Amino acid sequence: MEKNNVCINCFDMLNNIGGSLNLNETEVDVLTKPRRSFTFSFPVIMDDGKTKIFTGYRIQFNNARGPTKGGTRFHPKVNLEEIKTLAFLMTLKCAVTNLPFGGAKGGVVCDPKKISKGELERVSRAYVRELYRFIGPETDIPAPDVNTNPQIMAWMLDEYEKITGKHAHGFITGKPVELGGSQIRDISTSMGGYFVLREILKQMDIKSEGTKVVVQGFGNVGMNIAKILHEREYKVIAVSDSKFGIYNEDGLDIKKVIEHKNEAKALSSFQSAKEITNKEILEIECDVLILAALEDQITKENVDKVKTRMILELANRPITPEADVILAKRVIPVIPDILANAGGVVVSYLEWVQNSMNYYWTEEEVLKKLEEYMTTATGELEKTCKNYSCMMRDGLYISAINKILHVERLRGVLK
């Protein structure tokens, strides 16, 4: 049982910084063994009247800094080790951004594209029924993740409130605004990424105007970061979705690209741009390559073809560890995911705070608070990198782990 509860991937992530922090055996245990792991199965009656058994997970990795926080994903390839790793990364992400949260993650093994809306609702409610005794506003706060959205959060909230018999908007974040959701939640990850990129460019004395940007992934996050940068005079020269990419060395009119994508449901056939593949978009010469698609996009097989001055990770784990080492040797800075895409969890925290007060801020107020959190975290990163003479990913890990272990010592868990 003890071995099964260890996060194997976490050992690999800690290897690079182990020497810098000189971690002892107990500290490694604290950082690699989740505090609570839930694996469960539950029945759902499908539209045809038959019962199907689904498997669900929830990992509450570390709660030293506060209630655990993390998304819930619905995907056919969800597995326990993946959820452990993501919960570990959420723990680091909350520490990096100075949020009073620990890290968690959850998931259900299912394909939302192959079940009806009614079946999706029943799966969502059943998931909450299995977990409600172990989650809540002061214990563990779920949120959207892959294939989950504000509507699913609303179903989960409703089920939790029915079971507990009281209103508890702070039980879950990423909700519709009408049910206690926060302003700018839909663009929070992209805005957070923009604030971090802006600060890093300032540190490197690079002007934003005319900076050539390539965006891989044109879903909600990729589309919004492209729009945000275009409006601030960055030159977005290429974007891609899961099928196609488009490229124009002189820059794309992102507003028109979004209109075309919404109308045609694809990027192909957009005028004034050359069609390229997802593989080719990673090889375009640019100043900033933004990875906003899936994990493992840059690997040891294609890393040598990457021609960018800097990479911004808006997707989770888009660069493999082997490729990361090669990028470091090539002196291509990578702004890691645990900071770059942390805008989502920061606004989730702000949503939770608003729910706790039952008082809600304007869009402008939420945006200002997000900017403060992201710029403060980026400033801390610069100091850590200087103190430890390390790359950004190691700097973020060192900073987060120091904060977590410090709180564990204050609590008496560590001596």
Residues recognised as catalytic: 105
- In whole angstroms, what is the distance from residue 100 CA to residue 359 CA? 19
Ranges of H-type helices in 265-320? 278-281
What is d(CA 18, CA 13) in angstroms, rounded to the nearest whole number?
9
User: CB-side exposure of 244: number of CA atoms within 13 Å?
Assistant: 14
User: How far, in Å, CA of 137 to CA of 351, rounded?
Assistant: 11
Q: Alpha-carbon distance 222 to 240, whole Å?
A: 9
- The span from the CA of 33 to the CA of 64, in Å, is 13
147: helix, strand or coil: coil
Q: Cβ contacts of residue 325 below 8 Å, gap of 6+? A: none
Distance of CA 287 to the CA centre of its chain: 23
Q: How far apart are CA 140 and CA 34, in angstroms?
A: 14
Q: What is the DSSP string of 188-199?
A: HHHHHHHHHHHH
Q: How far is CA 127 from CA 15, 72, 375, in A?
A: 35, 10, 36
Report residue 182: phi and psi, to 5°. -100, 155
